C-alpha cells in the first residue's frame, strides 16, 4: 500500500498536477542531478529492497526506510545521492522527497493492502504521519484487499475494525482478492456508503464456508464441488449468480460436478440456482505434499468432451494431455491454462497448446521446460501472462526471449536457471512493458 501512494502519482487528477510540478522544481532546486529527477518519474524501487538499504536512508537524513518518504528511485541512484552529495543537498533531498509524497498522497483515490499485516502496518503509519490529513480530508473511494504470500493469509474482523472511521465512511467500493473470515464479511457490510463489493479471489480459497455471510448480489463465486446439502441451501439466495469457478475436490471426476448444473431441482425439491450459470473456471484440487497419486488431478482424456462450452480457465496437475486432447481444447474459449508437473509438455505438445486461439495466460510449474520451449512461448503474440517457475533448464537465453516479448506484462521466472548477473540486471532495470515480474536471486 505504501508503494501505491507514490505509484499513483502519475495517474493523478488534474487538480494535483500543479503540486507535482512544484515538487519537481523542489527536487531541481536541491541540486540533485537531472538524471535523478528523471528517474523519479520512470522506475520504482522493489519493495523487497527496502530492508537492504536502511544505511542509505540514514545517510540521506531519513530515520527509517519508509518508502513514502522517497520518490521511486533505483537503488543505484539512492546510493549515489547518499555517498557523493554534500550534507546540505542530502537534507534538501529529504525535504523535497516528503513534499513529493505529500503531493502524491493528496491525489490518491484508491489504496491496496497486501495482506492483514500490511493493512495494520500501513494504517499505523498513516495515523502517526501528518500526511494522513490529506487523505482523511478528501477520503477514499476504493479499497482493494489483496492476499500476501502466506497460504493461510486471511483478513479477520479485527483487521477490518482497525480501518479508521474517515476511510470506512468515504469508501464506495471494495475489491476482495483474499480470504475474509465470516465475521470480517459481516463487518465489511456495515461500511455506511459502500455501494459495491467485488469478489475477485477466483483462484484462492473457495467461498463455501462463508456463503451465508457474502453479499447476495454476487455474480461470481468460487466453490469447492461437489458440495454438501447445507451449502446448496445457502447458495439459493444468490439470485444474480452468473459464473462459478469450481475446484473439484479430490476423488471426484468432472462428471460429478457438471451433472449438478443440469438438474432442474436440487435435493430439497427447489429450483436449481445453478441451472442458469456458467462454469468459467475448473481446477482439480491436489495434495502437493502427499503421495504421488494425490499430486495428480483426477482428470482423464475422455473428460475433454465434458468440459463446459464457455470455460475460461483450466488448471491441472500431473496430467500430460495428448496432442489430440490439446487440439480439442482449441474449441473451448479458454483464456488461461495451468498445467503443472506436466513433464511431457516440452516440445511438440507445447507448440500445439500455443496454437490455442484465445489463450492469454499460460502457467506451467515444474514441467521440465527447456530454453527452446521458453523461446516458443516468447514467439506468441497472444499471451500476456506467463508463469513458468521451477523450470530450471530455461536459462538466460529463454528468460531473455520472454522478457523481449513486449506483449507479456506479467512474468514468473522463479528458479528458471537465470544467472545471477541477469537477475541482478532485472532487479535494477525492470523492462518498461513488464508490470509484474517474479524471480529469485
Domains of the chain: 1-108 (no CATH), 109-200 (no CATH), 202-319 (no CATH), 356-441 (3.80.10.10)
As a whole-number percent, the residues of the chain with pLDDT over 90 amount to 37
Instruction: pLDDT band for 305, please (50, 70, 90 cuts).
Output: confident
* pLDDT computed for residue 86 by the predictor: 60
pLDDT, position 386: 97
The total of other beta-carbon atoms located within 10 Å of residue 230's CB is: 11
pLDDT in the model for residue 401? 97
Q: pTM to 2 decimals?
A: 0.70
Q: What is the pLDDT averaged over residues 98-125? A: 72
pLDDT > 70? residue 35: no
Q: What is the pLDDT of residue 21?
A: 42
pLDDT band at 390 (very low <50, low <70, confident <90, very high): very high
As a whole number of angstroms, the distance between CA 6 and CA 105 comes to 7
Tell me the pLDDT tens digit for each residue of 181-218.
Answer: 999 999 999 999 999 998 887 767 889 999 999 988 88
Model confidence band, residue 278 (pLDDT cutoffs 50, 70, 90): confident
Maximum average pLDDT range among 73-77, 192-196, 264-268, 358-362: 358-362
C-alpha cell at 57: 536512508
3-state class (DSSP) for residue 67: helix
For 214-239, give the DSSP string: S-TT-SEEEEEES--HHHHHHHTT-T
- The pLDDT mean for the chain works out to 77
Q: Which of 29-38, 134-143, 205-214, 312-321 has the lowest mean pLDDT?
A: 29-38
Query: Which pLDDT belongs to residue 246?
Result: 92
Cα of 348 vs its chain's centroid, Å? 31
Q: Comparing C-alpha atoms, which of 165, 154, 246, 144 is closest to residue 203? A: 246
Q: How do strand 313-317 and strand 336-340 relate by DSSP bridges?
A: parallel
Least confident residue range of 82-91, 168-177, 343-352, 367-376: 82-91
Give mean pLDDT, residues 300-324. 90
Rounded-to-integer distance, Cα 399 and Cα 373, Å? 11
Output the nine-digit C-alpha cell for 86.
Answer: 554534500
Size of the chain in residues: 441
Amino acid at each position: 500500500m505504501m508503494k501505491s501512494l507514490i505509484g499513483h502519482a502519475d495517474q493523478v487528477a488534474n487538480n494535483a498536477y500543479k503540486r507535482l510540478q512544484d515538487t519537481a522544481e523542489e527536487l531541481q532546486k536541491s541540486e540533485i542531478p537531472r538524471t535523478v529527477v528523471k528517474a523519479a518519474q520512470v522506475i520504482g524501487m522493489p519493495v523487497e529492497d527496502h530492508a537492504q538499504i536502511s544505511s542509505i536512508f540514514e545517510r540521506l537524513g531519513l530515520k527509517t526506510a519508509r518508502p513514502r518518504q522517497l520518490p521511486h528511485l533505483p537503488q543505484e541512484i539512492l546510493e549515489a545521492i547518499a555517498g557523493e552529495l554534500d550534507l546540505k543537498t542530502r537534507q534538501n533531498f529529504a525535504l523535497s522527497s516528503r513534499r513529493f509524497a505529500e503531493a502524491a498522497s493528496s491525489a490518491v483515490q484508491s489504496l491496496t493492502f497486501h495482506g492483514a499485516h500490511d493493512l495494520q502496518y500501513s494504517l499505523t503509519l498513516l495515523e502517526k504521519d501528518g500526511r494522513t490529513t490529506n487523505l482523511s480530508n478528501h477520503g477514499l473511494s476504493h479499497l482493494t484487499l489483496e492476499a500476501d504470500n502466506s497460504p493461510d493469509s486471511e483478513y479477520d474482523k479485527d483487521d477490518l475494525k482497525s480501518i479508521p472511521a474517515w476511510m470506512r465512511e468515504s469508501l464506495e467500493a471494495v475489491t476482495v482478492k483474499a480470504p475474509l473470515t465470516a465475521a470480517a464479511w459481516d463487518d465489511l457490510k456495515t461500511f455506511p456508503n459502500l455501494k459495491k463489493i467485488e469478489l475477485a479471489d477466483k483462484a484462492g480459497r473457495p467461498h463455501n464456508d462463508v456463503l451465508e455471510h457474502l453479499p447476495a448480489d454476487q455474480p461470481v463465486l468460487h466453490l469447492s464441488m461437489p458440495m454438501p446439502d447445507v451449502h446448496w441451501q445457502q447458495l439459493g439466495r444468490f439470485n444474480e449468480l452468473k459464473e462459478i469457478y469450481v475446484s473439484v475436490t479430490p476423488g471426484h471426476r468432472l462428471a460429478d460436478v457438471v451433472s449438478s448444473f443440469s438438474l432442474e431441482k436440487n435435493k430439497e425439491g427447489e429450483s436449481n440456482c445453478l441451472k442458469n450459470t456458467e462454469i468459467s473456471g475448473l481446477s482439480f484440487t491436489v495434495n502437493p505434499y502427499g503421495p504421488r497419486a494425490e499430486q495428480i488431478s483426477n482428470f482423464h482424456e475422455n473428460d475433454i468432451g465434458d468440459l463446459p462450452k464457455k470455460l475460461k480457465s483450466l488448471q491441472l496437475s500431473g496430467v500430460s494431455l495428448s496432442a489430440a486432447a490439446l487440439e480439442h481444447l482449441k474449441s473451448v474459449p479458454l483464456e488461461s491454462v495451468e498445467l503443472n508437473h506436466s513433464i511431457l509438455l516440452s516440445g511438440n505438445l507445447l507448440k500445439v497448446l500455443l496454437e490455442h486461439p484465445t489463450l492469454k495466460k499460460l502457467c506451467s510449474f515444474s514441467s521440465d521446460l527447456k530454453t527452446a520451449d521458453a523461446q516458443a512461448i516468447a514467439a506468441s503474440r497472444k499471451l500476456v501472462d506467463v508463469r513458468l517457475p521451477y523450470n530450471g533448464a530455461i536459462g538466460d537465453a529463454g528468460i531473455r526471449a520472454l522478457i523481449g516479448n513486449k506483449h507479456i506484462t506479467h512474468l514468473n521466472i522463479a528458479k528458471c536457471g537465470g544467472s545471477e548477473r541477469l537477475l541482478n540486471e532485472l532487479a535494477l532495470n525492470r523492462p518498461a512493458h513488464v508490470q509484474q515480474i517474479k524471480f529469485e536471486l
